[in-house]
Chain A
Amino acid sequence: DTEVTQTPKHLVMGMTNKKSLKCEQHMGHRAMYWYKQKAKKPPELMFVYSYEKLSINESVPSRFSPECPNSSLLNLHLHALQPEDSALYLCASSQGTSGNLYNEQFFGPGTRLTVL
């Protein structure tokens, strides 16, 4: 299984809502990532988890809260978002984050989020 799955595929939420995005991989990868991609732009890294611990937070606002319950799952909890947070949210995983490993990242299909 070389797939990263993400749910839901689409999400529409109001600015006062609380929602969560989910990501799952069964490749035994120990690093997982959240990216944000706006239309016609490259993905921007938000968070990195390595061995279920948060290792990188790219100065993301606290209305985005990541969680890694186990090595296969990654969540992104959303609360009090703004319309400008509307984007495609991509999850990715890789074998590890050590500089000695081939750090190919496998991407999921993304969740298209619209904030009203």
Chain B
Amino acid sequence: AQSVSQHNHHVILSEAASLELGCNYSYGGTVNLFWYVQYPGQHLQLLLKYFSGDPLVKGIKGFEAEFIKSKFSFNLRKPSVQWSDTAEYFCAVNALRSASKIIFGSGTRLSIRP
């Protein structure tokens, strides 16, 4: 069965620090990969997605992620975080054999100290 692991449950950073959130998935076939963000009291928004092509994808608000197939990873990065990045971040995987189902990781809560 597919699964998605986000090993960092809560990350606390100061403004201007660099961010990397880990995401690993277990599925041997072709996958679509996503990072969603949920700001406090708001709904899920797509940060970025990988379907095919360049494994380094750029998303909104200065976020990027790199798909490393050999490591089954899709880590999220941002060079310099802002207080407004405080949110819950979910990695998600969609195996193309079961295209209806998106499996979410458990989420990483990011707190930014001003």
Contact = CB atoms under 8 A, between A and B. Distances in A.
Genuine A/B complex: yes
Interface of A: 31, 33, 40-43, 45, 48, 50, 55-56, 90, 96-110
B100 A40 contact: no
A101 B43 contact: no
Interface of B: 32, 34, 36, 42-46, 49, 51, 88, 90, 94, 96-102, 104-107, 109
Contacts of A105: 102
A33 B42 CA distance: 19
Closest 3 CB pairs of A and B: A42-B104, A99-B96, A109-B43
A104 B102 CA distance: 9
A105 to B, nearest CB: 6
B99 to A, nearest CB: 4
A106 B49 CA distance: 12
A90 B34 CA distance: 17
Interface SS of B by simple majority = mixed
A105 B90 CA distance: 14
B43 A90 contact: yes
B102 A40 contact: no
Contacts of A100: 96
A47 B45 CA distance: 20
Contacts of B43: 90, 107-110
A101 B45 CA distance: 20
A42 B36 CA distance: 10
B44 to A, nearest CB: 4
A99 B101 CA distance: 10
A41 B6 CA distance: 12
A69 to B, nearest CB: 20
Given A55-B100, A98-B99, A110-B43, A103 B107 contact: no
Given A99-B97, A104-B46, A108-B43, 18 more contacts: A40-B88, A40-B107, A41-B106, A41-B107, A42-B104, A43-B104, A48-B100, A90-B44, A96-B99, A97-B100, A99-B98, A99-B99, A102-B51, A103-B102, A105-B102, A107-B36, A107-B44, A109-B43
A99 to B, nearest CB: 4
Contacts of B99: 96-99, 101, 103
